[in-house]
């Protein structure tokens, strides 16, 4: 077993965030994507993200080099057979994820812990695709993974205490604080933040206050680091709607019905930081342009 | 006695095997038997550099994932049939460890006992980037060398003689009392070594001299050594304060960072990296943190490189004056560290205009003293002697270890 090494399947936003965070903590990351070409493309994106971190004084050139040297692309799932942890970070589709878990279960030794990054699917259901449901667990990070200190460690029905403990230790090594949650739609973070964001949008939609003032009210009135609308812009407004829909479908609770203004913004392709405009305007570096709100 | 000196960082272990004893110290006949460094620990291609005295140096690239393995390799090399300098590891009589932070507890080096270990561990909160690695190295070394004494030598200990007037910050006293926030100072082993060495070189007891010591490397600090005791130093609660450094900003108005954090929406971690890794000579010049490259750029007309050098030298000058005032006089000034030992130009810039303090450089001596040379660089008639003395922290660690083992005070 290669200590100090972890596998990652899937090199999208979450996979890249995981690889960057693991490598930043001195852990070697073996990453597999659908094809080596896709993986190389993703690695380029990751490099660009690291350059942005340098521009924001977050890391230095030599740290970037060290991080990249700890990320290795592998082509076959068998190459992940020798590590204590494997993260699954493919698209949030049940069959796809179950397929990955089945494959990992075939090649990894019985002590390897398999970790899903799913935020919508059931950990217990994914664990059912393996012969080791006690060693399957969820880790729900916030984006950007390397920056946010919290990780929700999600127990499935059969996840063992030993697995939980090991993953909590791993979280600590990554510089995160883990909170233990049982599987439930939206866990803790998403379930609480969505109604807050939605209500903030409704306040703007009804003309009660401007977007800037809504954010100001939460920052200055309640000591939030950022306001709910800035937060929504950072999450991506399409993501916010996808989440609302998911939680509405799961719970049937009307508080998760997205406000009409959110849908309108999405139709206009004002998706937040990633398109340069959502409730506020942003420059290429993702910094808010002052006076860019309505 | 053969003493193994270990300096463990986050991803490196540096070791020296030194033969010394009380009589050898007196006669200046101590010998370094071998130097070894292991870098990039935790990665698949760690680099091992081995330099045995009188034998061929050797370099290798290996997978070394943890400090234990690094120390295992170091011991195997030292006792290797062909390359080694000892027959077996059992020839090592004692092991000395560099510890960065000893807090207020440790005012001198000490043998490591379970109680001492616990106390060093408690100091980790003050040096989260260093102490845990130092301790990891100690634990690994102890595994291989169970039956010999191990000693801890602290970077902070030499400065523990500072008075409250020098070590207190102007913050509410509760922060000192409860959180131990104060000036600790670093590079203590180096400041101590060079001031002691000067006494030896001039034949004048340290207890009679007022000395300013300048340790100028990638990290840089100065100390006011009044009759053998450090009474003030430029580094503070962390090694960020004081002189301009390779990539650290040194002294500045603390409100600046609050202002930048607000304006740029920086997190604590980003602000920390900004001040520690993006600032200093590199931050001002935008060229490099390396003095040689800065000189080259400045000579080629790069204005920012020239200014960076001036800021660097000016702060040394400013603290020289301040420390002369603090001690009520000045007998000698010492340069050490990579820049201090090798950069005549910076030395000249820093001391220019200090004739009123009694400092007069000998241009010729200054120019030719570099590359590990030791010597006086002030003019014959200069009231204040200026010396270049290559530092040797490992030797201090070995000596302290021997003294502790022999039962004398280090």
pLDDT digits (tens, 9 = 90+) for B76-88: 999 999 999 999 9
Distance (Å) from the alpha carbon of A27 to chain B's nearest alpha carbon: 8
Q: Are B231 and B165 within 8 A, CB to CB?
A: no
Please, which pLDDT band fits residue A294 given cuts at 50, 70 and 90? very low
- Say how far apart CA A24 and CA A108 lie, in whole Å: 25
In chain B, whose CA is at the least distance from the CA of A67?
B43
Question: What's the CATH code of the domain at A198?
Answer: 1.10.1040.10
In a domain, A66, yes or no: yes
A211 in any annotated domain: yes
Asked: is B205-388 a CATH 1.10.3210.10 domain? The reply is: no
Q: Is B295 exposed, middle or buried (0-12, 13-18, 19+ CB in 10 A)?
A: middle
Nearest CB to A58; choose among B42, B265, B269: B269
Q: Confirm if B101 and B81 have CB atoms less than 8 A apart.
A: no
Confidence check: pLDDT of B267 > 90? no
Answer yes or no: is A219 within a domain: yes
Percent of chain B with pLDDT over 90: 86
Count Cα neighbours of A11 within 13 Å in the Cβ-side half-sphere. 27
Which chain A residue's Cα is nearest to B10?
Answer: A26
Q: Which residues of A touch B277 (CB under 8 A)?
A: 59-60, 63
Rounded to two decimals, what is the model's pTM? 0.83
Work out how many CB contacts closer than 8 A connect A with B: 33
User: Cα-Cα-Cα-Cα dihedral of A214, A216, A217, A219, to 10°?
Assistant: 130
Contacts of B290 in chain A (CB under 8 A): none
Cβ B92 vs Cβ B76: under 8 Å: no
3-state secondary structure chain B: CEEEEEEECCCCEEEEEEECCHHHHHHCCCEEEEEEEEECCCEEEEEEEEEECCCCCEEEEEEECCHHHHHHHHHHHHCCCCCCCCCCHHHCCEEEEEECCCCCCCCCCEECCHHHHHHHHHHHHHCCCCHHHHHHHHHHHHHHCCCCCEEEEECCHHHHHCCHHHHCCCCCHHHHHHHCCCCCCCCHHHHHHHHHHHHHHHCCCHHHCEEEEEEECCCEEEEEEECCEEEEECCCCCCCCCCCCCCCCCCCCHHHHHHHHHHHCCCHHHHHHHHHHCCHHHHHHCCCCCHHHHHHHHHCCCHHHHHHHHHHHHHHHHHHHHHHHHHCCCCEEEEEHHHHHHCHHHHHHHHCCCHHHCECECHHHHHHCCCCCCEECECCCCCEEEEECCCCHHHHHHHHHHHHHHCCCC
State both tokens at A263: 């849908």
- Please report whether residue A282 resides in a domain: no
Closest by CA to B249, choosing from B223, B214, B284, B224, is B284
DSSP state of A120: S
Residue B133 to chain A, least CA–CA distance (Å) = 14
Q: Best mutation site among B268, B277, B281, B287 for testing chain A: the one with the most A CBs within 10 Å? A: B277
Indicate the residue among A135, A159, A182 that finishes a domain.
A182
Cα angle A281, A285, A290 (rounded to 5 degrees) comes to 35
Average pLDDT along chain A: 93
What separation in angstroms does the CA of A3 have from each of A248, B66, B99? 42, 10, 27
Is the Cβ pair A28, B264 closer than 8 Å? no
Contacts of A58 in chain B (CB under 8 A): 269-270, 273
Domain that holds residue A230: 190-275
If asked whether residues A89 and A159 sit together in one domain, one would say yes
| Within a domain: A147 | yes
Asked if B271's CB is within 8 angstroms of A4's CB, the reply is: no
Q: Which of B21, B155, B232, B343 is an active site residue?
A: B155
Over 50: is that where the pLDDT of B255 sits?
yes
Extents of the domains making up chain B: 2-154, 205-388
Cβ distance A3 to B65 less than 8 Å, yes or no, reads: yes
Q: Categorize the per-residue pLDDT at B22 as very low, low, confident or very high, splitting at 50, 70 and 90.
A: very high
Q: Do B264 and A56 touch (CB under 8 A)?
A: yes
Q: Output the pLDDT for position A293.
A: 52
B264 touches chain A (CB under 8 A): yes
Residues A121 and A264 in one domain: no
CA distance A147 to chain B (A): 9
**Nearest 5°: phi and psi at B10?**
-65, -40
Q: Of A3, A28, A147, which has the smallest distance from its Cβ to B267's Cβ?
A: A147
The verdict on A133 and A229 lying in the same domain is no
Give per-residue pLDDT as tens, B185-223.
999 999 999 999 999 999 999 999 999 999 999 899 999
Q: What ipTM goes with this model? A: 0.70
B267 touches chain A (CB under 8 A): yes
| pLDDT at residue B139 tops 60 | yes
Q: In Å, how far from its chain's centre is CA A236? A: 12
CB contact under 8 A, B247 and A287: no
Asked if the Cβ–Cβ distance from A56 to B247 is below 8 Å, we say no
Chain B nearest C-alpha distance from A60 (Å): 7
Are B2-154 and B205-388 the same fold in CATH?
Answer: yes
Q: Are B206 and B244 in contact (CB under 8 A)?
A: no
Residue A71, classed as helix, strand or coil, is strand
**Is residue A153 located within the same domain as residue A10?**
yes
My answer on whether A106 and A235 are in the same domain is no
Chain A interface residues (partner B, CB cutoff 8 A): 3-4, 26, 28, 56-60, 63, 66, 69-70, 147, 287
**CA of B332 to nearest chain A CA: how many angstroms apart?**
38
Residue A263 lies in a domain: yes
Same structural domain, A175 and A233: no
| Min Cα–Cα distance to chain B from A70, Å | 7
Chain B residue closest in CA terms to A69 = B43
Q: What is the distance in angstroms between the Cα of B270 and the nearest Cα belonging to chain A? A: 4
Catalytic residue status for B362: no
Q: H or E element: which one contains A248? A: helix A237-251
Alpha carbon distance A289, B139 (integer Å): 52
Average pLDDT over residues B388-399: 96
CB-based contact (8 Å) between B349 and chain A?
no
Name the residue among A4, A57, A70 with its Cβ closest to that of B270: A57
Residue A283 lies in a domain: no
Interchain CB distance below 8 Å, A4 and B264: no
Confidence band of A292 (pLDDT split at 50, 70, 90)? low
Mutation test of the interface with chain B: which of A57, A234, A286, choosing the one with the most B Cβ atoms within 10 A? A57
B233: which residues sit within 8 A by CB, 6+ positions away? B159, B162, B183, B185, B186, B187, B188, B191, B221, B222, B223, B224, B242
Last residue of a domain, one of A114, A149, A182: A182
Contact residues, chain A, for B218 at CB < 8 Å: none
A194-to-A213, B57, B211 alpha-carbon distances in Å: 19, 63, 64
B132 touches chain A (CB under 8 A): no
Does residue A243 fall inside a structural domain? Answer: yes
- B65 to chain A, minimum CA–CA distance in Å? 8
Report the candidate in B6, B137, B14, B19 with the shortest Cα–Cα distance to residue B86.
B19
Considering only residues A60 and B313, tell me which one the structure prediction assigns the higher pLDDT.
Answer: B313
CATH topology of domain B2-154: Nucleotidyltransferase; domain 5 (3.30.420)
**Cβ <8 Å between A57 and B43:** no
- Identify which has the larger pLDDT, A2 or B240: B240
Tell me the pLDDT tens digit for each residue of B319-370.
999 999 999 999 999 999 999 999 999 999 999 999 999 999 999 999 999 9
What is the domain count for chain A? 2
Chain position carrying tokens 């083992």 = B405
Residues of A with Cβ-Cβ distance to B66 under 8 angstroms: 4
Does pLDDT of B129 surpass 80? no
What's the mean per-residue pLDDT of chain B?
A: 94
**Among chain B residues, CA nearest to A57:** B274
Give the mean model confidence (pLDDT) for residues B105-126.
91
Which phi and psi (to 5°) does residue A137 adopt?
-150, 160
3-class DSSP state of A242: helix
Residues A164 and A208 in one domain: no
**Cross-chain Cβ contact A60/B247 below 8 Å:** yes
Angle, nearest 10°, between helix axes B114-123 and B131-144?
160
Domain co-membership, A75 together with A152? yes
d(CA B388, CA B341): 6
Is B59 at the interface with chain A, CB within 8 A? no
Cβ-defined contact of B273 to A57 (cutoff 8 Å): yes
pLDDT at B128 over 80: no
B247 interfacial to chain A (CB closer than 8 Å): yes
State whether A174 and A212 are in the same domain. no
By DSSP bridging, strand A85-88 and strand A113-116 are parallel
Chain B residues in contact with A23 by the CB 8 A cut-off are none
- The residues facing B361 across adjacent strands are B378
Residues A160 and A43 in one domain: yes
Asked if B270 reaches chain A (Cβ–Cβ under 8 Å), the answer is yes
B265 to chain A: nearest residue by CA? A287
Give the integer Cα–Cα distance in Å for A212 and A221. Answer: 13
Residues A170 and A256 in one domain: no
């Amino acid at each position: 077993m290669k200590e100090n090494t972890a596998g990652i399947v899937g090199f999208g936003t979450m996979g890249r965030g995981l690889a960057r965070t693991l490598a930043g903590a001195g852990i070697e990351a073996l990453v597999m994507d659908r094809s080596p070409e896709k993986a190389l493309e993703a690695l380029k994106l990751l490099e660009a993200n690291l350059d942005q971190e340098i521009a924001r004084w977050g890391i230095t050139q030599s740290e970037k080099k060290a991080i990249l040297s700890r990320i290795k692309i592998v082509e076959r799932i068998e190459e992940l057979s020798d590590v204590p942890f494997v993260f699954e970070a493919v698209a949030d589709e049940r069959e796809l994820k179950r397929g990955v878990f089945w494959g990992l279960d075939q090649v990894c030794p019985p002590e390897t812990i398999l970790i899903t990054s799913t935020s919508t699917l059931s950990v217990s259901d994914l664990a059912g695709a393996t012969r080791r449901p006690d060693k399957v667990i969820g880790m729900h990070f916030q984006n950007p993974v390397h920056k946010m200190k919290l990780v929700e460690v999600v127990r499935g029905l059969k996840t063992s205490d030993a697995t939980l403990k090991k993953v909590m230790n791993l979280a600590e090594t990554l510089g995160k604080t883990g909170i233990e949650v049982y599987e439930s739609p939206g866990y803790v973070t998403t379930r609480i933040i969505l109604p807050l964001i939605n209500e903030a949008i409704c306040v703007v939609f009804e003309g009660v206050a401007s977007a800037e003032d809504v954010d100001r009210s939460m920052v200055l009135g309640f000591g939030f680091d950022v306001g709910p609308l800035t937060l929504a812009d950072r999450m991506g407004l399409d993501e916010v709607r996808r989440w609302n829909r998911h939680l509405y479908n799961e719970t049937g609770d009307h508080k998760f019905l997205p406000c009409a203004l959110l849908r309108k913004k999405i139709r206009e392709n004002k998706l937040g930081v990633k398109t340069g405009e959502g409730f506020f305007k942003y420059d290429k570096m993702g910094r808010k342009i002052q006076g860019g709100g309505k | 006695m053969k003493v193994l000196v270990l300096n463990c960082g986050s991803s490196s272990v540096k070791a020296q095997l030194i033969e010394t004893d009380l009589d050898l110290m007196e006669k200046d006949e101590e010998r370094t038997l071998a130097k070894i460094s292991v870098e990039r620990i935790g990665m698949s291609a760690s680099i091992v550099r081995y330099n045995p005295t009188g034998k061929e140096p050797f370099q290798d690239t290996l997978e070394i994932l943890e400090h234990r393995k690094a120390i295992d390799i170091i011991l195997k090399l030292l006792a290797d049939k062909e390359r080694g300098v000892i027959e077996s590891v059992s020839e090592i009589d004692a092991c000395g460890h560099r510890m960065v932070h000893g807090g207020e507890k440790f005012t001198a080096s000490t043998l490591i006992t379970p109680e001492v270990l616990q106390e060093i561990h408690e100091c980790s909160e003050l040096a989260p980037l260093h102490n845990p690695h130092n301790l990891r190295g100690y634990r690994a070394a102890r595994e291989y060398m169970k039956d010999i004494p191990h000693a801890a030598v602290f970077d902070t200990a030499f400065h523990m003689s500072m008075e409250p007037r020098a070590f207190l910050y102007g913050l509410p006293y509760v922060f000192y009392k409860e959180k131990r926030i104060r000036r600790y100072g670093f590079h203590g082993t180096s400041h101590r070594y060079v001031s002691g060495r000067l006494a030896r070189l001039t034949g004048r007891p340290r207890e009679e001299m007022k000395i300013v010591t300048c340790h100028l490397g990638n990290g840089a600090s100065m100390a006011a050594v009044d009759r053998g005791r450090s009474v003030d130093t430029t580094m503070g609660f962390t090694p960020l304060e004081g002189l301009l450094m390779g990539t650290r900003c040194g002294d500045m108005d603390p409100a600046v960072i609050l202002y930048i954090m607000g304006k740029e929406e920086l997190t604590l971690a980003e602000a920390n990296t900004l001040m520690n890794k993006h600032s200093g000579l590199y931050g001002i010049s935008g060229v490099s943190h390396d003095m040689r490259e800065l000189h080259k750029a400045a000579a080629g007309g790069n204005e920012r490189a020239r200014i960076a050098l001036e800021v660097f030298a000016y702060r040394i000058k400013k603290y020289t004056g301040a420390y002369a005032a603090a001690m009520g006089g000045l007998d000698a000034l010492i340069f050490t560290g990579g820049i201090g030992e090798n950069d005549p130009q910076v030395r000249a810039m820093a001391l220019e205009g200090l004739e009123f303090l009694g400092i007069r450089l000998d241009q010729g001596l200054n120019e030719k003293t570099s590359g590990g040379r030791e010597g006086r660089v002030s003019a014959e008639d200069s009231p204040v002697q200026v010396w270049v003395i290559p530092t040797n922290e490992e030797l201090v660690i070995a000596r302290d270890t021997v003294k502790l083992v022999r039962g004398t005070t280090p």
